[in-house]
Structure 1
Amino acid sequence: MQLKQLLACTALVAGSTLTAAVHANSVLPNKQISLVVGFVAGGAADASARLIAQKLSQNIGQSVVIINKPGAGGNIAHQYVAQGPSDGSMLLLGSVGPLTISPHLIDVSYDPFKDIQAISGGVNFPNVLVVHKGAGINTLKDFLDQARSNAGEIEYASSGFGAASHMAGELLNMEASVEMVHVPYKGGAQAMQDLLGERVMSYFAAPPTAMPYVAEGMLIPLATTGLERPAYLPNIPTVAESGYPGFEALNWYSFAAPGKTPEPILESWNEEIVKVLNDPEIINKLTEFGMTPQPTTRQEFIDYTRQEYEKWGKIIKERNLKKP
């Protein structure tokens, strides 16, 4: 960024913060706000949380700090917030795994609909099914044909048991009547390393992780897992349009608070977060991250979470998935 642009942005931020300080929402607590993230610093969840937290700080005129509580696929952070203060000073970057998948697989020690209160949707993004260049596969049809011809031999990697990438593969197993073998890793970095080393054939990867290797010709993209092609991946077909209508397996992050947080505070936070997610600058930056903003009302996201909870619970039961 040029110095002139930097100075202009700095002045704009200062002005915005001053204005927000004068007009801050009186229902929200007048103290430092914590936004708890269940993943390590530097990843996609952390990057989106920091971007949104910075804008929230400017808008409400008080500090919003990130607290990283990684571990157990985000479940540790969700448990931490479930027991947190109910005065509006603690927020959670909720995620699909701990809220809708893990409760069907393990004892998470919290009720995702009682101990954690939805505020708004945050962002979503599909996975992209990629294979290494040595696989000799160029289309989803070719991939599934091989899976049918070699039952129990075609592997797909995920970032962990119960992760969104794992569920995408299980859903494809069901919809396409194939039996791919799930190979869980302790995070996306390890899965990608083994994919590039051709030690596993495929991986349902996050686009920001996979696409640089696609650009270099090291990976072949077969399909994305949303209902529609994202704007930043216009040339990659979806699984849904490739013969499996309705197929959808999204990653998503939301905003939530401890379960006993009063309704007026939750609604006030919804207003502030939706304002940020509708900001053109934030939309552009999230799109650069490979994410789509998902601002909602509180009830809309409660309903969406319930639908996801029931969907993945049914798939987990039908696939007879058990935590190793």
Structure 2
Amino acid sequence: MFRFAGATIALLATLAVAVPAHAAFPEKPIRFVVAFPPGSSTDIVARLVGEQVSAALGQPVVVENRPGAGGNIATTAVMNAAADGYTVLIHSVAYSVNPSMFANAGYHPLNDLQPVAMAAFTPNLLYVHPDVKANTLAELLTLARGSKMAYASSGHGTTTQLGAELLFRELAKVDITHVPFQPATATNAVVSGQVPIASTSMPPAVPFVKSGKVRALAVTSLKRSPALPDVPTVAELGYKDFEANTWVAVFAPARTPPAVLDLLNAEINKAVATRSVQERFATLALEAGPMDRAQLRGYVESEVTKWGKLVKTLNIKAE
């Protein structure tokens, strides 16, 4: 009997050494791998959210910028990282577009990574130079049917291009030439009169709308934006359910434990609800978009389907 008890105690001691109790996540710094350069909207959101998450979880959040290939470099780096929650991806809506636009983006958006949390979004904005004789979207479309026009976007393959193409070519059946720019220069091209029309995200354009240097015609979210509450949505103007947002979300390697993903989702949702983050978002024409993981996965799936179909229809390829 005593030998049996002794053997049992010895076995339990061996197991205790062989299978140590795991410390609660997180027990070391978390790495936010950002798909775009420092100073981009994605980077700004990552740093704002990272600061709050760090304070809440008691561990540093290290922001690492890995730009290139439209975000694919950062995406594949995180896809191949350890699936433990310590390396996550901060990416834009391009995450849902790239697999259909690149011959080989290097990842499957729904299989290789898991959506973790929606950090922020902003509608895209349609606006014109003040010399354009159109005060409404309908007037612009009528004008474009009778004369050759062009629009600037924030870049080839972005939702600022794809949303405009969906509206102009697919829905309104109007041929308006696309002129891609870098995100920082598209608005300036319209302000200077180089291009008469623009479709960009809101942050670079809002100050020029408020100063009268450009005229806003419509936002592309389902609801009006608090940044420009007097500007109607495209959906209000006769194009039901039209939506083309620029968003920033967090993703993790596919096999990351659900409990870790749930914790990160909860903390990021709390972060974007804090007053300091909300106030900073407002200055950038960004909005918080908290979702649980199931809602976010459904949303990403719908974005992949919508933009993939349009990319195929218009035969848009990565440049």
Q: Distance in 2 between matches of 1:74 and 1:35?
A: 14
SS of match in other structure, 2:203: helix
Superposed CA deviations along residues 184-232 of structure 1, whole A, max 9, x for unmatched, are: 12x2122223222222111112222112112222111111111110122
SS of match in other structure, 2:88: strand
Equivalent residue in structure 2 for 1:234, among 202, 208, 229? 229
SS of match in other structure, 1:127: strand
1:262 partner letter: P
Q: Distance in 2 between matches of 1:79 and 1:172?
A: 32
Q: Distance in 2 between matches of 1:26 and 1:292?
A: 35
SS of match in other structure, 2:199: strand
Matches within 5 A, 1:1-324: 27-98=24-95, 100-106=96-102, 107-150=104-147, 153-173=148-168, 174-185=170-181, 187-324=182-319
**Contact 1:29-1:87 within 8 A present in 2 as well:** no
Shift in Å, 1:284: 3.0
TM-score (norm: length of structure 1): 0.86
Structure 1 spans left out of the alignment, 5+ residues: 1-24
SS of match in other structure, 2:204: helix
Distance 1:88 1:40, change over 3 A: same
Superposed CA deviations along residues 105-124 of structure 1, whole A, max 9, x for unmatched, are: 11101111122111122211
**Contact 1:213-1:219 within 8 A present in 2 as well:** yes
**Contact 1:176-1:244 within 8 A present in 2 as well:** no
2:41 partner letter: A
1:282 partner letter: V
Q: Distance in 2 between matches of 1:195 and 1:308?
A: 28
**Contact 1:27-1:265 within 8 A present in 2 as well:** no
Shift in Å, 1:136: 2.9
**Contact 2:125-2:220 within 8 A present in 1 as well:** yes
Shift in Å, 1:26: 5.4
Shift in Å, 1:65: 1.4
Aligned length: 296
RMSD: 1.7
Superposed CA deviations along residues 273-320 of structure 1, whole A, max 9, x for unmatched, are: 122223343233322321111111111111110011111112222223
Superposed CA deviations along residues 44-64 of structure 1, whole A, max 9, x for unmatched, are: 221111111101111011100
SS of match in other structure, 1:135: coil
Q: Distance in 1 between matches of 2:93 and 2:196?
A: 25
Distance 1:278 1:62, change over 3 A: same
**Contact 1:27-1:268 within 8 A present in 2 as well:** no
1:309 partner letter: V
Q: Distance in 1 between matches of 2:232 and 2:216?
A: 9
SS of match in other structure, 2:251: strand
1:84 partner letter: A
TM-score (norm: length of structure 2): 0.88
**Contact 2:262-2:293 within 8 A present in 1 as well:** yes
Percent identity over paired residues: 36
**Contact 2:206-2:228 within 8 A present in 1 as well:** no
**Contact 1:37-1:69 within 8 A present in 2 as well:** yes
Superposed CA deviations along residues 156-199 of structure 1, whole A, max 9, x for unmatched, are: 111211111111111112121211111112x2122223222222
2:37 partner letter: V
Q: Distance in 2 between matches of 1:161 and 1:273?
A: 30
**Contact 1:27-1:264 within 8 A present in 2 as well:** no
36-45 vs 244-253, greater mean Cα deviation: 36-45
Q: Distance in 2 between matches of 1:230 and 1:220?
A: 15
